[in-house]
Structures are given as structure tokens and as C-alpha cells.
Amino acid sequence: MFINDVQEEYSQYVSRYEDAPQPLEDGSMSKAPQSLIYLPLEVKDRVLGLITVQSFEKGAYTDRDLSVLQSLAAYTAVALDNAAAYRRLNEHEAEIRRLFEEAQTARAAAEEADAAKSAFLSTVSHELRTPLTSVLGFAKIIKKRLDERVFPLVPRDDARVSRTVDQVADNLAVVVSEGERLTKLIDDVLDLAKIEAGKLEWHMEAVTVADVLERATAATSSLFDQKGLTLIKEVAPGLPAITGDRDRLIQVVINLISNAVKFTDTGAVTCRAERRGDDIVVSIIDTGLGITPADLPKVFERFKQVGDTLTDKPKGTGLGLPICREIVEHHGGQVWAESELGRGSTFAFSLPIGVSPLATTGQTPVELASLIRQLRDRVIVTAPTKSDRRARILVVDDEANIRELLTQEFTEAGYQVATAINGQEAIAAARRDRPDLIVLDVMMPGMNGFDAAAVLKNDPETAGIPIVILSIVQDRERGFRVGVDRYLTKPIDTDLLFREVGALLEQRTSHKRVLVVDEDASTVKTLADVLTSRGYTVSEAHGDDLVEKARALRPDIILLNSVESATSDAVQMLRFEKGMDNVLFLVYQ
Amino acid sequence: MNRTILIVDDEPHLRTLIQQTLEELEDEGVELLMATNGEEALATIQSARPALVFLDVMMPKLSGFDVCARAKKQLGFDDVYIVLLTAKGQELDRQKGQDAGADLYMTKPFDPDALLDKARAVLGL
């Protein structure tokens, strides 16, 4: 409200203007003001306060005073709003810190438990293997000595003695084979425990399934000879390589082939590899006993042996298939079984083509999820420009013919155009319509372009909108200081303007830039993967190149591993650097 | 030609097992020496300079890794063929064994025949 003659103008609204002096709190009498300006401090449809200027004289204020006050009001409103936002941010940060601490405590406890478990397993393995070494070793020596030196001297003409010799030989063979089974069991338990604890080292490389099958069938060929079974290998030509741990995939196939042979007495075992959609599927098909429908779902469970129901005694460790499942799932694939009782079984697994394996399984720091959540909550993500929607440009200029010219040019080029004639209108329009880009003149009545840009760039809601200054005023430095994205001068170079506008709009479709600072490459990779999948553009820096990278990349967020002395100076420097005022520094541990 | 084999293990059963495994080599002029801990092993390696050592890893005080590293790196006995025997089938240990300069790494329980074959191969029998 702008009134330069109160008595006169109030009478338009109220029937009788009370000119009587009002007593003030200190008992004195006030004079009634004759001129006044009321300016609301508005942010996003909310009024935060009011600036009031009053004078006892009539006609005390000019349009220029009003314009100055309007700029002041706009700045003040944004400043107040930012202060409130900053307070919320601080509260939020305290909350994050608390969450981090909780996560850290939890992780420390988990790591301790994990270390204890690993140590226990290692000890158990050692303690079990030591006596087993004696049992198996001596059994083998006894068997050898008996075969070579004792049995030849025993007269076999007595049937009882002969039978005893055979029994002793058989019994020793049982001791040896069961000792070997026990050894395998210990290995399997350790393997499984290590896979589950994420302790197993995976050697991921390009692997061809043909090679895996070749190795596995070579390793199992003696089993086929022993039982007189035929091995049929059907590998589809031209299968692409996948990323995998070669030795462990061979282990899976050996396991499946051994099982197939174990439960097949006549016929053949077929090893097939083919492409199904985006997967390579390997099937091991036997013509053996088959599995009852009731048993089928149990075969991948631990210590549930199909042999329980189908053969006279279990032969394996009961952990082979669960290990296969863990290995295949680690590669992002699946394993399954199909069977018809009496007609054989098919054990198959899939390996995805071109999908990077879950290399980070078990290594992702516990607090990462919460970190991501916090990031998502805190960063004002400007909606990306949709390609199917024409970009909207706000043209701000007080000269009608320039507005008209730009409107025509931009419309011609396929953009949607809105216009505003001064700073206030521009701010209002930007807040209301969220254009994809603003072309802004500097010299305008009321609020000028620099002030408008400063307000827009200081308001979190509009800070993400790129601003191109288009002006006869050559004050590039001031423009960049208030945060505009490009500074072009009149007369208008349309080609250049279009190029810059295009580039900026393109950039808007890219995402918030995050600079991750950590010495540990695997942490950086994990963070980068997760953040990229959440739509951030991630760059990395190490302590020494942080300042340089930050200057070059102008990230929106800098994520730091617990500030070490090496980086803390850099962070201090960056915090006070021009243009870095809006960078969000987040520290994790 | 040096035909001495040193057997190092703190478990008496395992020393006996390895000794019995290798005893047929004694007919071919091989001498079997025993050590029950790391320090004793290192002293014997220094004094007798065996051609082959079967060395247990998990021993109190001086571990097999330590004995191996000292023999190979400090004493510079690269011609002593060292087989580490371990009950921990862990990849990390395999790496440690390599770092210590071991020539071979065998996991317990080992097959006595494999040990015998290895001894014959190293001694050229």
C-alpha cells in the first residue's frame, strides 16, 4: 500500500478519518502520519511480515523510494525464509548426526560380531581339521601297509580269515571315504558361512559359459566312466561372455553334474547352455530317478538331501546345492529344479548377460541407506525437463518490442514463452510457473535484473532455474556474483543466445552434481553407484585435488568422509569461496 | 646331493603321520629330521640346511609363516623347498604363505601319497 496523502485517500475508504492524536505507550501523544508505505514480506503466498514507513508530511515518498523499498522487501522476505530454512536444516543436521552415530554403533557391533564369527569359524575349521588329518592320514597309511605288506602274507585258504581280510579292507575304505566326506562338509560349511558373511573374495572377470562347461565336464569325466553313463554337451553357438567368478561357476556346474551322475544309473546326462532373453541358461538334465513333487522345493535347503527318500543312504554333504544357489544369486541369476519321478531331473541356473554382478554385496556401509535418504530429503531436486514437453522460457524485459522479438524467436524455435516486464513480475512468475529458464534484462524500472536474479538465486525454490542475463549493461562480474548462469550483451546475437539457452536446458535434464571425497576407492564406487541410480551426477575427488575439482565442477553437494586434517583446510577454503555459498557440505563416517 | 627332509609340527600325531608317510624314502638314503616348534625348526634349517621342509603353520610362538619368511628372506636359503601345511583353508592364508616365500601350500587333511610324491619330486627320486 502506497499513500501519500492519508487524510485525502483514507476518506475514500472510511467515512470519517480520525485525526485525533493517539496516546503512545510512554504517555506522549503521537501525530497521525500523512504519508505511508506498507509492504508485505511475501514468500510463496505466505506473508512473513510487513515493512512500514511513515511520515508526518504529505507527499513524502517518490516512486523511486517505493522501488528501493520493494527490492528491500523482496530481499528481506527471502532472507527471513532462508533463515527459517537454515534453522530447520540445522535441526535436520543434528538428526542426521544422531542417525549416523546410531548406524555407526550398530555397524561396530555387527562388525565385532562378524569378526567373532569369522574367528570362531577359522578356529573350528582348524580344530576339526587337525584330528581329521590324523584319522584320514593314518587310515590311508594303514590301508596301504595292509595291502602292500600284511594281506599278502595272510593265508587265504581259511574262509573265515579270508572274510576278515575283506571286511577289514572294506571297513577301512568306509573310514577313508567318510573322513573325506567330513572334510568336504567342513569346507562347505566354511564356504557357505563365508558367502553369507560377505567374506568370500570374488574374482569377477569376463567368462564364457562354454569354457565353464568345458572345465566342469573335464573334471567330472571319471564319474561318467565309473558308472558307464554318457555325457551329452549342447552349447548354443555365439553365446556372449558374462561377468563372473570362473572358478565358482565351474564349482556350481561340477556340483550339478556330480548330483546328476549320483542319481542316474543308466542313460545320459545332458549339459546344455542356451540364451533365453537377457539370460544365459545352463541346464543339467539327467535320466535318473527323479524327485517327488513334495521333495522338489526342498532340494536347495541346507542338509535336505533328496537322497533321504530316494537312495539307501545320503552321500553328499547336503550343502552343495545351497552353495550353488548362493553363488548363482551372487551373479544376479537364479537356480531351479524340475523333475518327473522316474523320468529324470533338470537342474538349471540363469546368468544375466550384461548386468554387472552384485560386487558390493556385503560391503555396503550400513549408514549408506540413511545417507541417501537424507540426501533425497534435503536436496531440492528441480524436476527434470521432460523431453516430451516443450521447455518453458520466461522472458523479462521492460521494452515491449524486445519482449515481442524474443517471444517470436523462441516460439519459432519450439519453446513455450511467458513474459514479465520487471523484476517483481519476474519473481512472481518464476515462483508461480517454475519456468525452465529465464532470460533477464538488467535495466528495468522497479526492481532491476540483478536484484531479481539475486532474489531468485537465493530462494531455494527458484535457485535451480538457469538465468541468462541479456543486457546492454556490461557488468558481467556483478551478474555472476548474484549467481546468473550466462551473461550476454545486447545487441542480441540470436545464434549465441539459442546456443546458450539450449545448453542450459540440456544441463537441466542432467541432475544435481555430487562430489564425493574419499580415499577409499570402493567406498567411492559404492556411493557413486547408489547416487547415480538415484539420479545424481557423481564425481569423485581425493584430498589433494578437492579444491581444484570443486572449482571446476561447481557441485551442488560435496560429500566428505570424516573430515581429515588434509581436507579440512580445503573445506574451509571452499566454504568461503565465491559461488560456493550454496554448496551443501555433508560429512559421513 | 642333499637328501634331508625336515618335518615341523607341534602335534606329535601329525609328526608321526608325516614320518611314517615318508619313511620308505629312508631306504633310498633320505634322512628325516623332526622339529616340534618354530624356533627348533629355524635352528635345524640353519644347521642342517635340508632340501625340503614340511612346515606346519599354526604353532605357538614362531608360526610357520615366520619360520618360512626368516629362512627364505633373512637367511637367504632359497634352495630349501618349503611346503606349508595348514589347517585353515583360507585364501588369506594362501596369500600370506606366498608373501612369506613358501614354495607350496597344502591344506590339511592332506593325502599322504601326495606328500610322498612331492618329496620324491623335490629330491629327484
Q: Of B89, B107, B112, which is closest to A137 when you measure between CB atoms?
A: B112
Report pLDDT for A341: 82
Cell numbers found for residue A152: 599278502
Q: Of A125, A136, A137, which is closest to B89 when you measure between CB atoms?
A: A125
Cβ contact A536:A512 at 8 Å = yes
Residue holding cell 535441526?
A91
B56: nearest CA in chain A?
A130
pTM: 0.44
| C-alpha distance from residue A533 to each of A364, A372, A431, A536, A539 (Å) | 15, 11, 29, 7, 14
Q: What is the pLDDT along chain A (589 residues), one digit of tens a residue?
A: 677 777 677 666 655 555 555 666 776 666 777 888 888 888 877 888 888 888 888 888 888 888 888 888 888 888 888 888 778 777 777 777 777 777 778 777 877 777 777 777 777 777 788 788 888 889 988 988 899 889 999 888 888 888 889 889 888 988 888 888 888 888 888 777 777 766 677 888 888 999 999 989 988 888 898 888 999 999 998 888 888 888 899 999 999 999 899 888 888 999 999 999 889 999 999 988 888 888 887 888 877 655 444 444 446 677 888 889 989 988 888 999 988 888 889 999 999 887 443 333 333 333 454 555 544 443 333 333 444 357 899 999 888 888 888 888 888 888 899 999 999 899 999 988 889 899 999 888 878 888 898 888 877 778 778 888 888 777 777 777 777 777 887 777 777 788 878 777 776 543 457 788 877 777 777 777 766 655 567 788 776 777 788 877 777 677 777 655 456 677 767 766 766 655 666 666 5
pLDDT exceeds cutoff 70 at B118: yes
Report pLDDT for A284: 94
Q: Given strand A344-352, what is the order of strands in its sheet?
A: A230-235, A268-276, A279-286, A344-352, A335-340
| Partner A contacted by B90 (CB < 8 A) | yes
Yes or no, beta carbons of A140 and B108 under 8 Å apart? no
Cβ contact A258:A264 at 8 Å = no
Report pLDDT for A578: 64
Q: What are the DSSP calls for A534-579, one per residue? A: TT-EEEEE-GGGHHHHHHHH--SEEEEES--HHHHHHHHHHHTSTT
Neighbour-count burial for A490-507, b at 16+ CB within 10 Å, e otherwise: eeeeeeebeebbeebbee
| Partner A contacted by B54 (CB < 8 A) | no
Report pLDDT for A376: 45
Yes or no, beta carbons of B111 and A138 under 8 Å apart? no
Report pLDDT for A309: 45
In A, which residues are within 8 Å of B91 by CB distance?
201
What is the average pLDDT score of chain B?
A: 89
Burial bucket for residue A231 (CB in 10 Å: 0-12, 13-18, 19+): middle
**Beta strands in A371-493, from DSSP E residues, in sequence order:** 392-396, 416-420, 437-440, 467-471, 486-489
Measured over all CA atoms, what is the biggest interatomic distance in chain B, rounded to whole angstroms?
Answer: 38
Cell numbers found for residue A575: 566454504
Yes or no, beta carbons of A122 and B88 under 8 Å apart? yes
In B, which residues are within 8 Å of A140 by CB distance?
111-113
Cell numbers found for residue A70: 520493494
pLDDT exceeds cutoff 70 at B15: yes
Q: Which of A485, A466, A554, A487 is nearest to A515 (CA)?
A: A554
B87: nearest CA in chain A?
A126
In B, which residues are within 8 Å of A190 by CB distance?
89
Q: Of B14, B90, B113, which is closest to A134 when you measure between CB atoms?
A: B14
Report pLDDT for B83: 95
Report pLDDT for A426: 92
Yes or no, beta carbons of B17 and A137 under 8 Å apart? yes
Yes or no, beta carbons of B108 and A133 under 8 Å apart? yes
ipTM over 0.85: no
Yes or no, beta carbons of A137 and B21 under 8 Å apart? yes
| Partner A contacted by B20 (CB < 8 A) | yes
B21: nearest CA in chain A?
A141
Cell numbers found for residue A199: 567374506
A122: nearest CA in chain B?
B88
B115: nearest CA in chain A?
A137
Report pLDDT for A563: 53
Yes or no, beta carbons of B87 and A126 under 8 Å apart? yes
Report pLDDT for A367: 47
Q: How many helices (H) and strands (E) does chain A have?
A: 16, 19
B115 min Cα distance to partner chain A (Å): 11
d(CA A460, CA A578): 18
Report pLDDT for A13: 61
Report pLDDT for A385: 41
